[in-house]
Amino acid sequence: MSTIFSRTELAASMAQQLIRPDFLNEGLRSGLFISGQRRTGKTTFLRHDLIPALEAERAVVIYVDLWSDTQSNPAQLVRDAVRQALEELQTPGSSLLARLARVSGADIGVMGFKFGFKLDKLGQSGGATLAQAMTELVDQARRDVVLIVDEVQQAITTEEGNNLLLALKAARDAVNPRPQTPGHFLFIGTGSHRAMVSELTTRRTQAFNGATSIAYPVLDVDYIRYLLQRLAKDGVKNLPSESVATEAFRTLGNRPEEMIRALRQLQLHLPPGSNPDEVLPIIAATLRSTAADTELAKVEGLGSVAMAIFGRIAAADGEAKGLFSADAAAEYTRAVGREVRIEEIQPIMNELMSANIIMRRGHGLYGVTDPFVQQAWRERQSMLDGA
């Protein structure tokens, strides 16, 4: 059995709705945004299921992960991914051309595409815009072009990232409304912060206001059934029942890596004669707490001021602001028991962002990167307050 749980039916259904939409799904061409917590299998689904399904529908797919390099400008990462795809398409014998030819026949242009602009100037002053590039690509490929941006919420952390989203909207508007267009430009954004991803489609100031936003369909009982069958096939004994394992999986936030870790611990530490259905829930609850501990330990490792700043951000409903104000510095001072100067705050904020613990959500606005960690912090604060 494969080590990856394939979700081919879900991927095929999504691809069909995107590439061959019926009347009710035509709005997906305005943009599709998918949100789900970290480590729940979103990227695996994109790479191993959705992209092949889109290519099977004869689409040209470009993928970029904005968390592949959190220190780089998100806009530059997207431009680099688009430029690399275009370079492959104009290179005879490239792997991208070969994949397209395999699913659609020789009409894709085995000798490579010819673009009327310099790729190294794409998105730069004096160079081709993304709208021009996507228009030429759709016209030459004569099929849909799908750009997938993983962890798309990173784009709104900088002004250049926001401008990138506006450029992508301009590309959509340049290609899709044309009468007799040979293809469409489709944009898919996925992210780990549900509120932020949702804002990309609901805020009037956002480029993709009005686009479709959905929750990522998390793995559930089908995955647990597959996992238990695989383990049984490998000769693993003392497995839990499907119902108990499914509930433990939900306790762990539907995160495959955490579930496998829980089952491994079950095999290592199950007392002789014990019932795995009684032990697994305890292991799952412990691992859930440990996972949050690991992330919160990163904050503690940055010192007491970092903990005070993180606490102010985690306690906020929505976006935290005023983190550099005199009032905030006074709050940090009370929390750490010594004077915290305003000039100390920015370097520590930078460290928290570099560790991917918090993220900038706009000018002077910040949030916790992983909602799971924020929830765990709030649960602990509630217990401390009630003690």
- pLDDT digits 0-9 by tens, 295-316: 888 899 999 999 999 999 999 9
The tally of CA atoms less than 13 A away on the side-chain side of residue 139 is 14
User: Distance (Å, rounded) from C-alpha 323 to C-alpha 330?
Assistant: 11
Q: Quick one: average pLDDT of 119-147?
A: 93
pTM, rounded to two decimals: 0.81
- pLDDT digits 0-9 by tens, 23-50: 999 999 999 999 988 889 999 999 999 9
Residue 147: beta bridge partners? 62, 187
- Proportion of the chain above pLDDT 70, given as a percent: 97
Q: Quick one: average pLDDT of 91-120?
A: 77
313: nearest Cα among 264, 275, 349: 349
Categorize the per-residue pLDDT at 1 as very low, low, confident or very high, splitting at 50, 70 and 90: very low
- Proportion of the chain above pLDDT 90, given as a percent: 64
- Sequence spans of domains, the chain: 8-215, 224-294, 302-386
Burial (0-12, 13-18, 19+ Cβ within 10 Å), 320: buried
Q: Say what the pLDDT of residue 28 is.
A: 95
Residue 34: its H or E element: strand 32-35
- pLDDT digits 0-9 by tens, 71-105: 788 999 999 999 999 999 998 888 888 887 777 65
User: Distance (Å, rounded) from C-alpha 80 to C-alpha 96?
Assistant: 16
Categorize the per-residue pLDDT at 165 as very low, low, confident or very high, splitting at 50, 70 and 90: very high
Where do the H-state alpha helices sit in the chain?
8-19, 42-45, 51-56, 74-89, 95-104, 130-141, 159-175, 194-202, 221-233, 242-251, 256-269, 276-301, 304-315, 326-336, 342-354, 371-386
Token pair belonging to 360:
């900038």
User: What letter would DSSP give residue 271?
Assistant: P
Categorize the per-residue pLDDT at 280 as very low, low, confident or very high, splitting at 50, 70 and 90: very high
Spell out the CATH class of 8-215: alpha beta
User: Distance (Å, rounded) from C-alpha 267 to C-alpha 172?
Assistant: 52
Taking CB atoms within 8 Å and a gap of at least 24, the contacts of 163-166 are: 163/75, 164/74, 164/75, 164/78, 164/79, 165/200, 165/206, 165/207, 165/208, 166/207
Q: Say what the pLDDT of residue 2 is.
A: 59
User: Distance (Å, rounded) from C-alpha 256 to C-alpha 237?
Assistant: 20
Provide φ and ψ at 63, rounded to 5°.
-125, 140
Average pLDDT in the chain: 90
User: What letter would DSSP give residue 50?
Assistant: I
Q: Are 336 and 304 within 8 A, CB to CB?
A: yes
User: What letter would DSSP give residue 48?
Assistant: I
- pLDDT digits 0-9 by tens, 330-359: 999 999 999 999 999 999 998 898 787 888
- pLDDT digits 0-9 by tens, 377-387: 888 888 887 65
Fold of 302-386: Arc Repressor Mutant, subunit A (1.10.10)
Q: Quick one: average pLDDT of 184-196?
A: 88
Q: Say what the pLDDT of residue 290 is.
A: 85
User: Distance (Å, rounded) from C-alpha 242 to C-alpha 161?
Assistant: 44
- pLDDT digits 0-9 by tens, 196-248: 788 889 888 899 999 999 989 999 999 999 999 999 999 998 999 999 999 99
Q: Say what the pLDDT of residue 104 is.
A: 65
User: Distance (Å, rounded) from C-alpha 199 to C-alpha 332?
Assistant: 30
Q: What letters, b where the CB count within 10 A reaches 16 and e where it falls short, cover 206-233?
A: bbbeebbbeebebbeeebbeebbeebee
